[in-house]
Amino acid sequence: MGCRDVHAATVLAFLSGTASVAGLLAAVLLPNWRQMRLYTFNKNERNVTVYTGLWIKCARFDGSRDCVIYDPQWYTAVDQLDLRVLQFALPLSMFTAASALFLCLIGMCNTAFVSSVPNIKLAKCLVNSAGCHLVAGLLFLLACAICLTPSVWVIFYNNYLNRKYEPVFSFDICVFIAIASAGGLFFTSVLLFLWYCACKNLPSPFWQPLYSHAPSMHSYASQPYSARSRLSAIEIDIPVVTHAS
């Protein structure tokens, strides 16, 4: 695996990161973070389930897909601490992961379209693929931590609400989507770190792993002469004649 080639690991990391960001976007928009099920003992009425999201709240009767009560201003009056934290954490995680995707894309484009021998005048200013992928891996890991911590906290906070009030609360599918997206971000960062570690076999500094200086011209040193070649031309060219007695 070499840094000078677009490798399958970097392409897979980019696709995994894109899927993870899409999962985070779905978790942010869907109103399925928490359910509150309200039961009625009146046979003429139906039970109601309140679906709570980060931005909207929707109440539905059992067996119905339409919202009886739809509150698009719920984000301004969120009274549950875990959801309030998620309102800030998930967009921040998405922004961090999107920045990592941008860096990853720059690294792959730089690998695919930039010449392997840089301009001597610009060699000190070049930022190549391995450096981009290294920083992208760190950003993916940070985005995973920002997303995973409050998403797991929803599960414990749900148990707290059931103990404090009544056992009518349950966490919904968005919790699983967010945790799976955090796992995808972690997998993406691991792929990029493995790729970078394989690149360290090359002579690589931290941020400019392929070229820290302009490639120098090959120096051709003259080979040392042998002892025979140091003899004078006379000694080489004039034969020594010996007379036999």
d(CA 121, CA 116): 15
Task: Return the pLDDT at 223.
Answer: 46
* pLDDT for residue 177: 94
Who contacts 238 (Cβ-Cβ below 8 Å, separation ≥6)?
A: none
Name residues of the chain where pLDDT drops below 70.
1-7, 42-44, 110-128, 199-245
Type of residue at 84 = R
Query: For position 58, what pLDDT does the model report?
Result: 85
SS3 track for 84-111: HHHHHHHHHHHHHHHHHHHHHHHHHHHH
pLDDT of residue 200: 60
Are the C-beta atoms of 53 and 33 separated by less than 8 Å?
A: yes
- Please state the domain extents for the chain: 6-32+78-112+127-199
Cα 183 to Cα 9: distance, rounded to the nearest angstrom: 17
